Chains A and B, each alone.
Chain A
């Protein structure tokens, strides 16, 4: 079987279709949903999607439905092991309760990244990132 690997078809998302996947977007959002289709740009159709936010040892979920995600905004795609899906060592809480904490986390992260970029640019000659930075 290993010797056949070079001869199998090129990498594609066909094996991920109709599976529950985790999609991380460039703005840092984590979406869990069933991948229904994709195309050459890796635009994705995600069905029955749930957005999840984390803070320390706690998480919250919100059902957000059917998504068509433009491929360039995706950082990664990961397959969810349905057998181990519920073995999450975190406590679940209400979305509205956790949202302000999550916002604080993201703002702090954003400020840290901006400061880092500033220092690197001024002191080490790194170039600045144009447009919206990445939030992940």
Chain B
């Protein structure tokens, strides 16, 4: 999964943020955005030399100042696990696809999806493998399952 999606999934988890100037911030992630701007709560700030400390209830860090983030190792597995569970749940709660309310829907084999990008094409889910989000050849469309459309599949004209 994408780095920023991992960050989004890390909300409420503790992490360490190191800035370009070497300052470190230990705290729980409240929120983040596409620029990697983040807000943390219950923060312990340390200066670059590691000899001065501050406790902050909350702080905002601009993404452009971040060098890296250290995240709990259990998070990657937890997120992958959650993705597979969501996929199973979506699969069992089946029905015709609706350009619906932002709920993640796993497309079924043979299903025709409507999509925002290619208005004069229907997207047909060709195989089970594609629905499983595995790599597939001959792709044209490429957008996220979370946006109600299929990750990878061939376009077929109407």
- Residues of chain A at the chain B interface (Cβ within 8 Å): 25, 27, 36-39, 43-45, 47-48, 64-70, 73, 131-132
- Residues of chain B at the chain A interface (Cβ within 8 Å): 1-4, 6-7, 20-22, 36, 63, 66-73, 75-76
Nearest A residue to B10 via CB reads: A68
Shortest beta-carbon distance from A62 to chain B in Å: 12
Q: Do B20 and A73 touch (CB < 8 A)?
A: yes
Please, could you name 10 A-B residue pairs with CB atoms under 8 Å apart, sorted by A?
A: A37-B1, A37-B2, A37-B3, A39-B3, A66-B71, A67-B69, A68-B69, A69-B68, A70-B66, A70-B68
Q: Do B67 and A36 touch (CB < 8 A)?
A: no
Q: Do A64 and B2 touch (CB < 8 A)?
A: no
- Among A44, A47, A70, A131, which residue has its beta carbon within 8 angstroms of that of B76? A47
**Consensus secondary structure, chain A interface:** strand
Nearest B residue to A131 via CB reads: B20
A73 to B73, CA, bound (A): 21
Q: List chain A residues, Cβ under 8 A from B68.
A: 25, 67-70, 73
Q: List chain B residues, Cβ under 8 A from A45.
A: 3, 6, 76
Q: Do B73 and A47 touch (CB < 8 A)?
A: yes
Nearest A residue to B69 via CB reads: A68
Q: List chain B residues, Cβ under 8 A from A68.
A: 3, 6-7, 68-69, 71
Top 7 closest A-B pairs, CB basis? A43-B3, A68-B69, A69-B68, A66-B73, A66-B71, A65-B73, A73-B67
Q: Do A64 and B20 touch (CB < 8 A)?
A: no
Q: Do B6 and A37 touch (CB < 8 A)?
A: yes
- Among B67, B69, B70, which residue has its beta carbon within 8 angstroms of that of A27? B67
A39 to B144, CA, bound (A): 14
Q: List chain A residues, Cβ under 8 A from B73.
A: 47-48, 65-66
Q: Do B70 and A66 touch (CB < 8 A)?
A: yes
Q: List chain B residues, Cβ under 8 A from A38.
A: 3
Nearest B residue to A38 via CB reads: B3
A51 to B22, CA, bound (A): 16
